[in-house]
Amino acid sequence: MLFREYSQAEWWMDPKFHRPFVPIVLSILGLVAWLLFILVYALWWSNSFSLFQNIIVTIVSLLVTGLLLGLIWVVWGFKFAKDTE
């Protein structure tokens, strides 16, 4: 059924049109948390490490953040796929 076939009162109740509000908010919060971590790390903790170690910490923290955000989106995607069947 296409979007235009719904009346204005019933389209939002169909699970096919659920918006990814929670994953978007969690993605924004994850990005802000990662940026705050990098800022705190750069200001206080990075003095005792070499440049190479600082780059590795930045890359690993970015990978962990990306994996967590990817997991959030995968869980939402599976829930969305289950709702559309």
DSSP for 38-54, please give it.
Answer: HHHIIIIIGGGS-HHHH
pLDDT of residue 9: 53
**Is residue 62 domain-resident?**
yes
Task: State pTM to two decimals.
Answer: 0.74
Number of structural domains (the chain) is 1
Question: Tens-of-pLDDT digits for all 85 residues of the chain?
Answer: 455 555 555 555 566 666 788 899 999 999 999 999 999 999 999 999 999 999 999 999 999 999 999 999 999 888 877 655 5
pLDDT of residue 76: 87
**Is residue 5 domain-resident?**
no
Cα distance between residue 60 and residue 33, in whole Å: 14
Tokens for 3? 């979007």
User: For residues 25 and 71, is the Cβ–Cβ distance under 8 A?
Assistant: no
pLDDT of residue 27: 97
Full residue range of the structural domain in which residue 38 is found: 20-84
